[in-house]
Chains A and B, each alone.
Chain A
Amino acid sequence: MLTHRFRSRKRIRPCHSSSAAAIVTLSSKIPVMLLYGAAIWCAAILLAPVCVAGAGFPKVIGQAIYFSFGEICHQIDSRSVYLGDYPLAVCVRCSAVYFGFLLGTIMYVALGSKPSTRYSYRWLVIIASVPMLFDVAGGTLGVYSMTDFSRLFTGGWFGIIIAWCVIPLAVDGAGQMARLHRFQIPSRLRGFSRV
């Protein structure tokens, strides 16, 4: 593995304090970068029907968004939320997951949370996934009929909870990578942590 090989082949030289500061800064920017990424992703989902409706945007952008999201979602009309006359770029459950993740990220950033060992990430993943898995399995097997509310609730639950698992681990991962590769933050990203 990279980390292992890196250590065994090469003696890590002590880095200067400016590099250490850059590592800390990079780690602190990860939640905000994820927040921007999630916001752009969700904006694209909302933008597709607006573009196709021709509300001041080129139609081809909307079609490209529908095509792109079509690879990762079934886009069945009867299972989609409509914005005007056109459905969103993804179905109800996917929309709930992505907007839930955005909400979870906003909460994480707004509360100024830090990576913590007080809770188990393994259990967090399980708690996030189980309701959605039951909903999908129960609905597909015909045990009960899934409703838009159940899709919205279980998807949103998954998105919010998983954000609280992904962000701290991403912060940790970015910090470790920066330490190993002595990553320097480009100057244009230095103001990223201000929301």
Chain B
Amino acid sequence: MLRYALYGGVVTAATIGLPVLDFLNCFCCAGVILGGVLSVFFCTRDLGPGVWSPTTSDAVQLGALSGVFGALLGSILKVLMLLSVGDVVRDLISSQLGQGGFLDALPPELIDSFEEMLYDQEPLSVFNVFALLVVWLFVGPLFGVLGGVIGFALFRPKVDPFAGTISGTPIQPPPNPPVES
């Protein structure tokens, strides 16, 4: 389980920490949800319906773990990127705007939005890094679980998920406790 959660976590971390890719999280944490979906996808693909398939609870756990891994790795990656190369996207947009580059071909409303979004960012500080980690450790597992559940809905084998386990071993109702006389 940890391996597949780590795969999803790496995808999540990339969408948190890497420039350009982090725009994905502007759409209701789509990057984190994608990480959860992919962790379930990798799991079902590798283990296959003939061998074993995840249950709903496994999908929930996969999503949550991918969110935790993604939050930790992504926060570290984001800080490292900002410290090493700075805000490359802001620099790129600043250099491209008004020079007839690819950005000028975009709708004007979108360019205004880009400018507004990029120039409002706060500089990096120790408090911001800590706050970033706390926020992502809360948001990551939350949206990761959502991604895991959506991934399960998309990639699960076509059997009744409420009939017990997908591996074909229905969960038996527990027997009554012995009556002591």
Contact = CB atoms under 8 A, between A and B. Distances in A.
Asked if A pairs with B, the answer is: yes
Interface of A: 1-4, 7, 14-17, 19-20, 67-68, 71-79, 93-94, 97-98, 115, 117, 121-122, 124-125, 136, 140, 142, 145, 162, 165-166, 169-170, 172-177, 179-180
Contacts of B149: 165-166, 169-170, 173
Interface stretch (B83-91, B94-102, B131-139): B131-139
Contact of A1 (B28, B43, B131): B43
A71 B52 contact: no
Contacts of B174: 14-17, 19-20
Given A1-B43, A76-B116, A142-B106, A169 B173 contact: no
Given A1-B52, A76-B117, A71 B136 contact: yes
Contact of A180 (B57, B106, B107, B156): B57
Given A142-B107, A177-B57, A97 B28 contact: yes
Contacts of B153: 121-122, 124-125, 165, 169
B72 interface: no
A176 B57 contact: yes
A115 B153 CA distance: 13
Q: Label chain A's interface by main secondary structure.
A: helix
B146 to A, nearest CB: 6
A93 B134 CA distance: 25
A63 to B, nearest CB: 11
Interface residues of B, number: 54
Given A125-B154, A166-B146, A71 B25 contact: yes
B117 to A, nearest CB: 5
26 contacts: A2-B61, A3-B165, A14-B174, A17-B174, A19-B174, A68-B131, A68-B135, A71-B135, A71-B136, A73-B28, A75-B117, A75-B120, A77-B116, A93-B27, A94-B28, A125-B154, A162-B150, A166-B146, A169-B152, A170-B60, A172-B56, A174-B60, A176-B171, A177-B57, A177-B60, A177-B61
Nearest to B116: A76
A20 B173 contact: yes
B48 interface: no
Nearest to A180: B57
Contacts of A173: 55-57, 59-60, 149
A165 B151 CA distance: 11
B176 A17 contact: yes
A93 B167 CA distance: 39
Contacts of B120: 75
Contacts of A145: 107, 109
A185 to B, nearest CB: 16
Question: Among B59, B61, B174, which residue has the most Cβ atoms of chain A within 10 A?
Answer: B174
Interface in B106-146: 106-107, 109-110, 112-113, 116-117, 120, 131-132, 135-136, 138-139, 143, 145-146
Contacts of B27: 93-94, 136
A170 B57 CA distance: 8
B155 to A, nearest CB: 8
Contacts of B150: 125, 162, 165-166
B50 interface: no
A120 B61 CA distance: 22
